[in-house]
Each structure stands twice: as C-alpha cells, then as structure tokens.
Amino acid sequence: MTHNYKHGFSGFAAMLTEDQAEQLAEFPEVISVKPSRTCTATTTRSWDFLGLNYQMPSELLRKSNQGEDIIIGVIDTGIWPESRSFSDEGYGPVPSRWKGKCEVGQGWNSSNCNRKIIGARFYSAGIDEGTLKAEYLSARDAHGHGTHTASTAAGSVVEGASFHGLAAGAARGGAPRARVAVYKSLWQGSGGSSGGSSATILAAIDDAIHDGVDVLSLSLGGLEDDSFGALHAVQKGITVVYAGGNSGPRPQTVENTAPWVITVAASKIDRSFPTVITLGNKKQIAGQSLYYQEKNSSRSTFRSLEFGDLCTADALNGTDLKGKIVLCFPSDPESSLVPGSAFQVALRNVRDAGASGLIFAQYTTDLLGATARCQGIACVRVDLDTGYQISRYISDTSSAVAKIEPARTFTSKELLAPKVAAFSSRGPSIYYADVIKPDIAAPGASILAAVGDSYEPKSGTSMATPHVAGIIALLKALHPQWSPAALKSAIVTTASVTDEHGMPILAEGLPRKVADPFDYGGGNINPNRAADPGLIYDIDPSDYKKFFGCAISRTSASCNETFVPGYHLNLPSISIPDLRSPITVSRTVTNVGEVDAVYHAAIQSPPGVWMDVEPSVLVFNSTNKVHTFQVKLSPMWKLQGDYTFGSLTWYKGEKSVRIPIAARMTLHDFYADVA
C-alpha cells in the first residue's frame, strides 16, 4: 500500500495486478477501483494589468488586507524556500487553525519553513528510483515550476526583480500576505518535464484537507478520472483551482473539467519583449525574444545570414554555419503555437552546427518563457510574414547579413490585450459536455516569477492557475463565509469579454477569432469587479453527488434515480450539448450587494436558438434575498449544427452579472441511431 486516504474519504492506493484489482472490486464494501494515472505539470506586470497595483491598493487589495492569513496550498514540484518571494519579514504567528507539518528531508530542515511557508510535505511513494535519484527527496524544488507558481499566487513583494534586466519591476503574488503550504507531488523526469501519479495528487489533497488550507492551486493536468479528491475538498469549503492544459487551440482539449473545480485558461497581457533585427539593406524588423548579452560581452555585429528552411539536423548537415545567423521555419505552423516545442528543436540544431544566431519564424511571437532562452547564441522570433520578407532578402542578395540586438521590455495599451493564448486548451469538455469549460482566463504568457534564487518568465496555463488562486485568496479574505461555488460565481459573472479598447477579446489560433466561452469561459478575470459581484450562483455541495452519481454508484438503477445533467446544476453558465426540443433550466441567485435592488434581464440568444427568461425582473429586499428563475431554450430550426454562443446578463445600473451560454442543435444521436 502506497497511500492511505482518510481525511476527505476512506480509501487507499496500492500496487496491484489486474487480477487483484478485479478481485478487490468484487467486495461489496468497495465503491470503485481505478488505476493511478500519470499527471504532468502543465509577477511583475500581470497584477498591475489586472488592476491590483500594490503601490496604489485597489478596493480588493485594501479590503482583503492583501490576503492576510489565507492559506494557499500549492500541489506542484515543491518550493525553493530561500527565494526572497517567501520572506516572512513582518508576518505574525502562523494561524492557530493550521494543522499541517513541515517534513524534513534531503536539502530541507525544519528551519526552511517559516511564517510564510507554513507547511511542507512530499510524496515519493510509487515514483521510480531513477527519478528520485535526480531529485531532492524533500519538498525542495529541483525544477522551478512549483516555486514559480507559489510565488505567483502568494509571493511577498520583491523590488527590482527581473530576468537579466527584462520585465523589471516588483515581483509579488496576487495575495502577497497569504501563507503558503507546499505539497510536492510532481517530480522532474529524465526528459526535464515534471510528472507524478494521480495517487500522489490524491494523497496531497487528502492531507491539505486535514491541514486546513483555504485554496488549492494545481498547475497540472491528466486528472480527469480522479476528481473525487477535489470534490471532497470542495465539500470541506476549499476552493480548488486547476490548469486547463496547454493543448490548444484544438477544440475538446481542455483538462480538469469537473464542475466543482475552477478550470483556468491562459491569456496574454500588454507587455512584449521587442528585439530589433537589422538587415544588410538597413531595413529594421522587430521580433520578440528573451535574448540578452552577458556583461562585458561585445556589442551586436553584422553576421552572414543563411536560409536554413526547416532547420532539421539532416537539412543542416554539411552546411557551413559557423558564426552565421540562420533563418528557420517550423515544419507545421500549428507546432509553433505551443511554447517552445518547434523553436527548441531548431535552436538546438543550429547551435550544434556552430551558428551564432537564430531567426525563427512562427505563427505567434509572444509565447516566451523558459523554453525561449537563447542558449548562448542570439535568437529572435518573428511572425511568418516577417520570416518570408527575410527569406526574400536572402534570395535576392548575394551576401546577406543581419544583426540581432538584445531584447527590450515594452508595456503599452497599444498592444492588443488581453487575448487568449494559442496554446491554451479549448472546450468543450469531452467528459462533461453539459458544463462550460474552461471557467475563466487569467494571465499565463511570459509571466515573471521566482525560480530558485532568481526570477524567470514562463508561459502556460500553469502560470494562469496561480493568478486565479491568488485572487480567490483575496476574495476569501474579504468574504470568509462564501462557499467555493460562490467564489467561482463571483469571478465568472464579472469577467471581462472586451479588451482595453472595448473590442471583443480575441483568441489566438489558426486563424485568430473572437473568443467564445470554450476559449475563456466567462471571460478574462477582473478581480476588483469580482469583489462586489452583486449576485452569486451558489451550489450546495451535495448537488454535485447527484451529477456525479453514475461515476460513484455501483448499479445502473441508482444511477438513473440520482443522475442530474450538468446544465441543471446551479452553475454560472449553461451548456446544452443536444438541443433537439425546448429545454427549461432553473437558476437561483443570491443577492450579496445592496439590500434593496432590482435587476433586469438582458438576453443575447445563441444564433439559431430562441431564449426566454422568466421572470425577467428580480426584486430583492431584506426579506427576499434569493430568487429562482427559468431559462427556456428552443431550437429555431431542425438541423444538425455546431455550438453557438450567447449570454444572460442581470443588470442594475452599471452593475452587470453575466453568465455564458452554449447550445448545440442536434437531430440525431448518431451512436444510438446505428447501435
């Protein structure tokens, strides 16, 4: 037996053969037997961009006292306790309700916990020996991923943080006065990526329930079949925040989609890192990179410019590239949507061939993070059109040359932001089509945060997740009695669907498009609006059991008696994946704003769907704080269609409470028709 679960539910993890697992499942006391699956890990400007400037405290930062004494549990690769982001200077005693512990281990003793990092656990059972030998057998972070996410959620204020002068500013977490509890469940494998098992994640969640965390942040993927732990945490009043995954922009790639968790998409902020390329014809072109020059190194100079095409190892074999700058293109435009993948291959190949620089053409240029490091040579990313311009210059010139300047930091409202990042996984969920996922988008591209003793930018929904966890911590400090469902409702119903110029938020992809709920859920998170949402859609945790009945029941009879479609849960969204005939769903809202308030409904029907709300006016007072209303959706045509999107917004003056709606009209259940 590798793990014993006792705080959220009764169970255990063990190494069993298939026959043993089948025999165990036959016992009447056993609800289910499931395999442990592999799970993977999927700042200075972002908080200001979201309106949480600590130097001029917003309403939310000020009223929540920056998340004072809220405990954020981070289930990740561990933490680097010496980072300045985890200084406990100025902190009071550890909250008396804390029941956790500080486990000692390799490179970690009890003094590594303090009044900021108040707990540390690690879970090595079931991890192969080869991985453990290359790791710290303790809560110490050998990878940097967990340190980055923890400091993004709750890091203390650190002035003058930067990545070699880039993205300079004050690094801090969303809830800089919150406490951190570390649960190391992901371990760095031989390939450099981080992973763990669902059994270890479940053990970490079980301990976090016992320890007394308020919020759980999990920047990892691959847990769809094992969401029981998160459900038990939510039943104990703990808000659970998960990364949505980095497999976008393809549809139906979003992960961690159980309705009781908050699933996070990644968006971009209004900062870039322009890098100037000067061609031999004196034409200057701007790309983006994290290229910097070491101190005392010589200034950028012109170098021969070579066309490397796809820059595969075979294509470059036998080509004299010593000291040259090479232009490369991805073999597949879609491969350049994922942070680092195609770029890293090209970088390795040209560097191994002796080149001094790389110009990499790709679909989007601002997916910068640890994978964007130039590895000792000059490098820059340009968009495909710019790449073709440089290619023409090379072909039209007998001795093409270029030079690459170090990157700079540029922040401006002229940059279109926010936008949904291309790599961010998209809905609908393949597991829960009747629930809109992801729930919310938050900054996740080129986020600067702590890694070891320094600071580095990283990109991914892993970076977006702790942004949401930090904001939830602030809201929990401000509204300590709110349930996880209420907190989730607050951020979804107040999210932004327009950018800083008032235009609809875009989603990067092939091609770019106006974002819809399967890209960003309710929209891009707006912390200050979430502090005072007006109305909330709350859920009794027992309702989730009805929804999840088929997964936890042993008989089809009990399943049929208890099962409730996801669109009947009181979620701050509505998704109807099979709209064949009129469907009516109910929603209940609770007034958490002004006691006497009147809200009016504004309907934006999904194209092809007739929608009605009854009643269309909600009147709240001291005796009527809760109202239930019905939403009727009817297909306007008999056709087999794709999803279309709309919304329902309750207005009171300038205050609006908006939920997204998705509907797909269907004529046939193709599986049922041919089975």
Count of other CB atoms within 10 angstroms of residue 301: 9
Beta strand 303-307 with 325-328 is: parallel
User: Which residue bears the tokens 């400090």?
Assistant: 477
**Domain 572-674 belongs in CATH node 2.60.40.2310:** yes
What's the pLDDT score for residue 40? 44
Evaluate if residue 199 carries a pLDDT over 90. no
Residue in 48, 69, 76, 538 annotated catalytic = 76
Evaluate if residue 207 carries a pLDDT over 70. yes
Evaluate if residue 316 carries a pLDDT over 60. yes
Count of other CB atoms within 10 angstroms of residue 481: 7
Residue in 64, 83, 462, 575 annotated catalytic = 462
Distances, alpha carbon 571 to alpha carbons 217, 370, 431, in Å: 21, 36, 17
Q: Where in the chain is the domain with CATH 3.40.50.200?
A: 35-270+416-526
Evaluate if residue 357 carries a pLDDT over 70. yes
What is the mean predicted confidence (pLDDT) over 72-96?
98
Residue in 143, 145, 479, 627 annotated catalytic = 145
Evaluate if residue 9 carries a pLDDT over 60. no
Average pLDDT of the chain is: 88
What's the pLDDT score for residue 627? 98
Do residues 553 and 614 touch, judged by C-beta distance below 8 A?
no
Confidence band for 265, pLDDT divided at 50, 70 and 90: very high
- Phi then psi for residue 337, to 5 deg, are -85, -20
Hey, what CATH topology would domain 35-270+416-526 get?
Rossmann fold (3.40.50)
Give residue-wise pLDDT tens across range 165-191: 999 999 999 999 999 999 999 998 665
Evaluate if residue 44 carries a pLDDT over 70. no
pTM: 0.89
Hey, what CATH topology would domain 274-408 get?
Glucose Oxidase; domain 1 (3.50.30)
Q: Where in the chain is the domain with CATH 3.50.30.30?
A: 274-408
The residue among 45 and 584 whose pLDDT is bigger is 584
What's the pLDDT score for residue 28? 64
Active-site residue, 145 included: yes
CA distance 624 to 630: 17
* Percentage with pLDDT > 70 across the chain: 85
Active-site residue, 164 included: no
Give residue-wise pLDDT tens across range 377-419: 999 999 889 999 999 999 999 999 999 999 999 988 888 899 9
What's the pLDDT score for residue 554? 40
Give residue-wise pLDDT tens across range 466-496: 999 999 999 999 999 999 999 999 999 999 9
DSSP letter for each residue of 289-324 = ----PPTTPPPP--EEEEE-TT--HHHHTT---TT-
The residues, ordered by sequence, that sit 6+ positions from 188 with a Cβ below 8 Å of its Cβ are: 77, 131, 134, 135, 142, 143, 194
What is the mean predicted confidence (pLDDT) over 260-289?
94
Residue 632 has which token pair?
């009727």
What's the pLDDT score for residue 672? 45
The residue among 581 and 342 whose pLDDT is bigger is 581
